[in-house]
């Protein structure tokens, strides 16, 4: 019979054997469980009868959303998911849930989902990377110390690419761009610039492509991005 409890920083390395540190699909869960500052993450772990971790749920405060923490489960059964969410979620307090799409039916009816979207995880193939030379791309120093690349046109249109999270092997890029910027190719230009810097730091760039991003897969594939086959449900979740 499994049991759930919250662990501290001294125990977080016990989760490492559950994860493939070389897998893009495990990258976000690995980052939250093993690298994200412990004062900004709560780790709820399910243990088997022998006292060994068999799944976990990370509740992480990040810059991706200042008001809602990210809930990132790493589970192999619906029972584990239910137990972890029951232990971690507070009624009336929303979180942003990142869940493999194939586990969507595992969610309990007591959870209210909204703002749902589905993303396809892309991984840059370093051997196939084709940089884009665009003299309008500017490097910006962020207060967090993380890099960011921007283009701002005279018309007021703009595009920016930064980093949602950065681990020892992978980093995920985000894009902020208006429709005009996308049409003019500004979005792919800043992504290419961000990708180049990450490669120079010996990290593999990842990008989550969804239907709300006015960016085509072919544009990303032309600079070297490939599908990992991983699709993720992202939604606000509220426990009733």
When divided into structural domains, the chain yields a total of 2
Question: Looking at the domain assignment, is residue 106 inside a domain?
Answer: yes
Same domain, 116 and 140: no
Closest CA to 110 of 136, 139, 138, 89: 89
Same domain, 155 and 202: yes
Same domain, 130 and 202: yes
CATH code at 150? 3.40.630
Is residue 236 classed as helix, strand or coil in its secondary structure? strand
Give me the tens of pLDDT residue by residue for the chain, a chain 240 residues long.
569 999 999 999 999 999 999 999 999 999 999 999 999 999 999 999 889 999 999 999 988 787 899 999 999 899 999 999 999 999 999 999 999 999 999 998 889 999 999 999 999 999 999 999 898 999 998 888 889 999 988 878 889 999 999 999 999 999 998 888 887 889 999 999 999 999 999 999 999 998 766 677 889 999 999 999 999 999 999 998
Dist CA 85 CA 105 (whole Å): 14
Dist CA 88 CA 28 (whole Å): 18
* Containing structural domain, residue 16: 3-120+233-239
Question: Looking at the domain assignment, is residue 228 inside a domain?
Answer: no
CATH code at 31? 3.40.630.30
pTM: 0.92
Question: Looking at the domain assignment, is residue 84 inside a domain?
Answer: yes
CB 230 within 8 A of CB 100: yes
Question: Looking at the domain assignment, is residue 161 inside a domain?
Answer: yes
């Amino acid at each position: 019979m499994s049991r759930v409890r919250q662990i501290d920083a001294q125990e977080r390395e016990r989760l490492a054997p559950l994860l493939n540190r070389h897998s893009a699909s495990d990258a976000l869960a690995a980052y939250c469980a093993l690298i994200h500052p412990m004062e900004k993450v709560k780790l709820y772990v399910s243990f088997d009868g022998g006292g060994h971790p068999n799944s976990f749920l990370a509740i992480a405060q990040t810059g991706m959303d200042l008001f809602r923490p990210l809930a990132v489960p790493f589970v192999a059964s619906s029972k584990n998911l239910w137990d972890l969410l029951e232990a971690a979620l507070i009624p009336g307090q929303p979180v942003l849930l990142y869940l493999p799409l194939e586990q969507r039916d595992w969610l309990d009816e007591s959870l209210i989902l909204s703002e749902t979207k589905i993303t396809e995880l892309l991984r840059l193939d370093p051997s196939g990377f084709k940089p884009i030379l665009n003299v309008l791309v500017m490097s910006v120093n962020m207060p967090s110390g993380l890099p960011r690349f921007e283009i701002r046109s005279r018309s007021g249109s703009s595009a920016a690419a930064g980093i949602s999270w950065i681990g020892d092997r992978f980093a995920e890029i985000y894009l902020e761009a208006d429709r005009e910027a996308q049409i003019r190719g500004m979005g792919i230009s800043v992504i290419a610039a961000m990708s180049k810097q990450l490669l120079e730091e010996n990290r593999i760039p990842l990008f989550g492509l969804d239907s709300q991003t006015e960016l085509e897969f072919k544009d990303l594939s032309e600079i070297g991005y490939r599908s990992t086959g991983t699709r993720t449900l992202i939604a606000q979740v509220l426990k009733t």
